[in-house]
Amino acid sequence: MKAKSIQQILLPPAPHMVGDGFRVHNFFPTGYNIGKNRMSPFFMMDYNSKIDFSPRENPRGVGVHPHRGFETVTIVYHGKVAHHDSTGNSGVISEGDVQWMTAASGILHKEYHEEEFSKKGGPFQMIQLWVNLPAKDKMSKPKYQAITNDQLGKYQLDNGGVVEVIAGEFKGVKGAASTFTPIEMYNAKIKKGAAVTFDLPENFNTGILVVEGAVKVNGEKAPADNFILFKNEGETISIEAEEDSILFVISGEPINEPIAAYGPFLMNTHEELEQALEDFNKGKFGYLED
Ligand code: MN
């Protein structure tokens, strides 16, 4: 198989606050203007690089807001995030855990630092990814997958490293999340000096975020907080870890449909966006106390 070509290694764009709890670098779609469909089915990636939050009584975060037409995937590396939604689901996403929430036809939710974490303060690091849904699934029933670290598929690497399989499959180890379209998603924890190879289909849109450490990717150096964007050429990605490293690997089959995006809604047409807004204003997304 042929090496997957690197399009660009992207530095983290200037951060902005989401509510008062998330200080994020938006790698796409706006951070680098790479296009709404360039990473399809992944529409948006916000990365809260590791920062210390000072202790606070009232947890920081984002209040009640809607979503329709896609899924939010939250991966926590440091700190804890508390979540509540209008379907009655709630939970705490702790270090190493993943929350895969299917907003689909519509939910309201709120996302805050977990109370005890907020009181203590400390390092906080997480990713939120928006995964688009194909037209036929956009109005399906909301769904919630709370995936704790012990539920992730795990492939042991040499000298103590591990590939945690969130979705898809790595060397026969299956991911924990169910997805609507073909998606590969891993956390690769690689010890200094070790190597790992990923084979991902040429047509899948693929990227790797260096969450921790420093690696060589197909021979090119990539430090922490950088995102490696791959061309749709070749399959094989060869990683060598120059330090103990954590990589967030995403790869998915593109959804070849038009995208109409407005704020928290991700649909195919402008009319559907107007419908979403109207339904939200009519209270059709349910109720959630602030
Ligand atoms: Mn949200």
Q: Domains in the chain and their CATH numbers? A: 6-255 (2.60.120.10)
Ligand 1 center from residue 244 Cα (angstroms): 32
Give me the amino acid identity at 93.
I
Provide the pLDDT for residue 123: 98
Measured in angstroms, how far is the CA atom of residue 93 from the centroid of ligand 1?
A: 14
CA pair distance 233, 159, nearest whole angstrom:
31
d(CA 74, CA 69): 17
Tokens of 248: 């967030």
Strand partners, 250: 185, 207
What pLDDT score was predicted for residue 273? 98
Which residues, in sequence order, are CB contacts of 102 under 8 Å at separation 6+? Answer: 71, 133, 140, 142, 143, 144, 145, 180
CA–CA separation, 58 vs 28, rounded Å? 31
In angstroms, the CA 259 to CA 262 distance is 10
Non-local CB neighbours of 33 within 8 Å, separated by 6+ positions: none
Q: Does the pTM of the predicted model rise above 0.95?
A: yes
Sheet holding 22-28, edge to edge: 16-18, 22-28, 42-53, 122-132, 70-78, 98-102, 143-147
Q: How far is the CA of 74 from the centre of ligand 1 (A)?
A: 10
Residue 271: is it exposed, middle or buried by C-beta count within 10 angstroms (0-12/13-18/19+)?
A: exposed
Strands 173-174 and 22-28: unpaired
| Ligand 1: centre distance to CA 142 (Å) | 13
Task: Tell me whether the omega of the peptide bond preceding residue 66 falls within 30 degrees of 0, making it cis.
Answer: no
Per-position pLDDT tens, the chain of length 290: 899 999 999 999 999 999 999 999 999 999 998 999 999 999 999 999 999 999 999 999 999 999 999 999 999 999 999 999 999 999 999 999 999 999 999 999 999 999 999 999 999 999 999 999 999 999 999 999 999 999 999 999 988 999 999 999 999 999 999 999 999 999 999 999 999 999 999 999 999 999 999 999 999 999 999 999 999 999 999 999 999 999 999 999 999 999 999 999 999 999 999 999 999 999 999 999 98
User: DSSP class of residue 159?
Assistant: G
- Phi, psi torsion values for 257, nearest 5 degrees: -140, 155
**Distance from chain centroid for Cα 233:** 23
Ligand 1: distance of its center to the CA of 63 in Å? 9
How remote is the CA of residue 239 from the centroid of ligand 1, in Å? 33
Q: How far is CA 209 from CA 48, 116, 138, in A?
A: 12, 29, 27
Q: How far is the CA of 109 from the centre of ligand 1 (A)?
A: 6
